[in-house]
Structure 1
Amino acid sequence: MSRSKKEPVDPPEGGWGWFIVVAVFIWCALTYGPAVAFPVLYQSIVREFGVTLGQATWLTGAFEFGKSCGYLTLPIFTTKFGDRKTAFCLSIFGALSICLSSLAGAPEIIYIFTGFVPGFVTGNLSVLSFTVIPRYFVKRRMVALGLSQTGSGLGTLALAPLIQILVDFYGWRGALLLLGGLSLNCAVAAALVRPIYLKSDITADPKKKNPTAEVLCRVVSKPKLWLASFVLVLVYSGLKGYLSFVISFATDVLGTGELEATFLLSIYSLVTMISRIIFGVIGDWKKVSIIWVIVITEFIAGLMIGVAWFIKGYALLAVNCSVMSFFSSVSHTFYVPVVAGIVGERDLEWGIGIVGFVSSVVGSGAVPLIGFVVDSSGDVKWAFAISAIFMVIGSLLNLFLFPPKPDETAV
């Protein structure tokens, strides 16, 4: 079973839940961190296999597609094997895949073993990270989610320059081998996921022959869930487009060194960590409209992405990256209460999974599409223009898809 069948309890509002926050923090650091740092590997792929920069971005596309598949399989795995066993086995699977990719003789092998498979693992752990914490927290949910999700920021902060240093010293093959070994720590974090049986779990009818199919049908029948997915497609495509090409812009257009350029991802990570904690506290305020926070922050982030087109120096680009990072990280955790309000707390696992699946499947082609435009135009700045359009439109659509109500509060 997916949950421990001891005496049912209410969410303890802390306790062992803080160790769950630590586990999710480690998952985010060692799964999302390397993914955001993929642009560090682009130049190595281009030099090793003679592909274009646009073709190298298929690494990110493969990761996003794998993540989308993982979003849908997590509820099936946890129903059969439970949270802890699922997280443990997937963590080992992903780490071994990255290690094997160090033997690649073609870029397609890297796309599969460093992109798709780790993306599949990340998708599963991502859904689990958003659903296991709410089982322990209610009043301090947004703070707990914000703290746990800062792991992705710390991961990128440390791993972006670390991967570049490893590539310089050991080559890209040695860097991937060491990165795979580091990822094994996700399995250690999985051991912290202690099962908990809540009173809300009793609502499920054990006489149903196929409860999974019943839940899935109930969730997919929510029109607003599909609308939320479309909004996230635009928002995440804008963010991924910016992060995927900002290093190339710094090195090719501004003439910045590769190691110095990778620190832009570290800036993104550090600012993201701070902003998620700040907005996590804000999200728990009962008088704060979640939707308005999402709209305003995403709109500002979109404007900052567009402004990058006109930047002429590295210092200004670093400032631009800082402001964009502060406001773009909000939606990552703030959509959890939005989805919970659409499908209900009981079906949150499937709701997050479907939203993530749709946004990742469609969004997996966004970065390669932007890369195609960059290759065709010969100007990497077009990546900023397209990404800004995606982000701004996505932010404004929130007003039409989820009109804010006067009594709206965090779920």
Structure 2
Amino acid sequence: MMTIDNEQKHIRDMQGCYNWIVVSGSHLCCLFVYGWYQAIGPLFVAIQHYFEETSARTSWILALFVSLEFGFGIGYGLILPAHIGIVSLYINKHFALANSLVMSGSAIGIFLFPPLMQYLIDSYGWRGAVIIFSGINTHMGISAALYRIPARLGRSHDVKQENKSEVQHSNICRDQCEIWDFSLFRQNPLLSTFTLANLFGIGVGYQSLPAHLLASADTKGLGSQNQLAFLISFLGLSSLVGRWVPPLIGCISKNRITSNTLFGLTLLLMGIISMLSSLATTYATYAVFACFVGFLSGMCFVVENNALKEIAGPENLTASLGFAVLATSVGVIIGPPTAGKCNMIL
């Protein structure tokens, strides 16, 4: 028979293996959610051509389409806070590594999905492409099937049950019910600044990019639709590289550079690069711009979750992510139409 210590070690080892299975499930969620949103670039151009409308008016369609409820549709809005929040329940010591693995899924999706979207549009039209992508997104159910309540090991105080380990379950349902805990802003004043950064830096700024980058290049006649779709793939490939830079910086600096500092710095650099985007006049310069933004955004999205964990603590990570996603969704409603209007003026 197994001793108590051996049994607990066996359960701990099994739990440790399953932790990384959960990470792989969250990785798939990132791949589908963020990959789909970046694939909106080719869809934006297709809808604009189909209705023969300006980018400003077409932007309203996409803004309402992707921002319904909490973020990228009701389903996406529920997925986004949970897919990182559940990783924090399973992974503590190596959370930065796990977070990079999870968020690298979005970079892979950004690299793969825009050319796929353009191919589907060419083959089945934009309506058919949306239907097929909806079917592809149902595969996120596989990720959901991997999630379960994490077990916590403990010892029973009952002498009669001393040969059995006591398993305590985290109440995930309670955590989800407390997702709108506004007292977090009072307890963590920096969270307000962080939420505003998500509203303007990510929602209004970055999330307007995939649609209008392709629309701008298309207006200038810089290439075919298939060539333009690869601009987002360049962004995704460089984003994949950028997502592994924060753990490397943390290792080199021995964690003296905080995630909050990196988050603010990457947002600042993304803003500067975006202001210089008007200098891009050829396909090559558009590709370089996409690579720079992709690299910085890759860093930004990884350190965002680490920064939230530093600000609010791991027990409040899911709730904090809920507010961040809500702020981003409001920015997504505002950003694309505003960018389209500015594109007409300039």
TM-score when normalising by structure 1: 0.70
Paired AA for residue 174 in structure 1: G
Is the alpha carbon distance of 1:204 and 1:275 closer, same or farther for their aligned partners in structure 2, counting shifts above 3 Å? closer
Query: Please, which of 345, 348, 351 is the counterpart of residue 320 of structure 2?
Result: 351
Find the residue that maps to 1:16 and give its secondary structure.
helix
* Structure 2: 5+ residue stretches without partners: 1-7, 155-166
Give identity over the alignment, percent.
21
1:323 pairs with 2:292 = yes
Residue in 1 aligned with 2:162? Answer: none
Residue in 1 aligned with 2:195? Answer: 229
Deviation at 1:291, TM superposition (A): 2.5
Find the residue that maps to 2:17 and give its secondary structure.
coil
Stretch moving more, 328-337 or 18-27: 328-337
1:156 pairs with 2:121 = no
Alpha-carbon distance between aligned partners in 2 of 1:259 and 1:211, rounded to the nearest angstrom: 42
Deviation at 1:267, TM superposition (A): 0.6
Is the alpha carbon distance of 1:282 and 1:257 closer, same or farther for their aligned partners in structure 2, counting shifts above 3 Å? same
Is the alpha carbon distance of 1:47 and 1:323 closer, same or farther for their aligned partners in structure 2, counting shifts above 3 Å? closer
Query: Please, which of 68, 87, 96 is the counterpart of residue 142 of structure 1?
Result: 96
Paired AA for residue 270 in structure 1: L
1:218 pairs with 2:183 = yes
Is residue 42–residue 229 contact of structure 2 (8 Å, CA) maintained in 1? yes
* Structure 1: 5+ residue stretches without partners: 1-6, 71-117, 380-411
Alpha-carbon distance between aligned partners in 2 of 1:155 and 1:210, rounded to the nearest angstrom: 29
Find the residue that maps to 1:170 and give its secondary structure.
helix
Residue in 1 aligned with 2:57? Answer: 55
Is the alpha carbon distance of 1:47 and 1:64 closer, same or farther for their aligned partners in structure 2, counting shifts above 3 Å? closer
Alpha-carbon distance between aligned partners in 2 of 1:47 and 1:322, rounded to the nearest angstrom: 26
Alpha-carbon distance between aligned partners in 2 of 1:168 and 1:19, rounded to the nearest angstrom: 36
CA RMSD of the aligned region, Å?
Answer: 3.1
Paired AA for residue 201 in structure 2: V
Residue in 2 aligned with 1:243? Answer: 210
Task: Figure out how many residues of one structure are paired with residues of the other and give that number.
Answer: 319
Query: Please, which of 278, 285, 289 is the counterpart of residue 309 of structure 1?
Result: 278
Paired AA for residue 221 in structure 1: R
Paired AA for residue 232 in structure 1: N
**Structure (1 or 2) with the larger CA radius of gyration:** 2
Residue in 2 aligned with 1:21? Answer: 23
Alpha-carbon distance between aligned partners in 1 of 2:63 and 2:129, rounded to the nearest angstrom: 21
Stretch moving more, 222-231 or 279-288: 279-288
Residue in 2 aligned with 1:175? Answer: 129
1:295 pairs with 2:236 = no
1:266 pairs with 2:233 = yes
Residue in 1 aligned with 2:164? Answer: none
Is residue 339–residue 352 contact of structure 1 (8 Å, CA) maintained in 2? yes
Is residue 241–residue 298 contact of structure 2 (8 Å, CA) maintained in 1? no
TM-score when normalising by structure 2: 0.82
Is residue 11–residue 198 contact of structure 1 (8 Å, CA) maintained in 2? no
Is the alpha carbon distance of 1:338 and 1:255 closer, same or farther for their aligned partners in structure 2, counting shifts above 3 Å? closer
Stretch moving more, 323-332 or 274-283: 274-283
